Amino acid sequence: MTLIKRVGKALAVIVVVLAVSGFAGHQYVNHVEKQRSIVTLAKHSDKVLFFYRDDCPGLPSYFSIRFIWHNVISHNIILINMNQLQNRHYIQKYQLTSVPTMIHGKQRYTGTNQQRIKQIVGD
């Protein structure tokens, strides 16, 4: 085989691997954001509380693959889907007025600005 054919085959394999991993990553993010688990919080948690709704039209803008994998690795974010009726008591407890809202210690942010989200979550 010539060098060009080898390089072409290697590039084809890389493209297929990237496409499959991109699809798998997207499916995982979609699975995580649609979970409606009942969340029970510890009294003195040092984790970021992330309140969201899976039917929010802005969800993809802040619920990125990078955000999800950050949580998979560090386990420092508790995802709380407010569409789960049994999670709604947190609205009063944390005085939630809209989603997405993140709370970490005394820091609090409501919105989709990626830079502010990174500040709260840590990077």
Residues 36-69: tens digit of each pLDDT: 567 777 675 788 898 988 887 776 666 666 666 6
Cis peptide before 57 (omega within 30 of 0): no
Instruction: Indicate whether 77 pLDDT > 70.
Output: yes
pTM of the model: 0.66
pLDDT at 46: 83
Q: Which two tokens stand for residue 121?
A: 């979550």
CA 7/CA 28 separation, integer angstroms: 31
CATH fold group of domain 3-121: Glutaredoxin (3.40.30)
| Mean per-residue pLDDT of the chain | 78
Instruction: Indicate whether 92 pLDDT > 90.
Output: yes
**Domain boundary assignment for the chain:** 3-121
Instruction: Indicate whether 21 pLDDT > 70.
Output: no
Which residue type is seen at 102? M
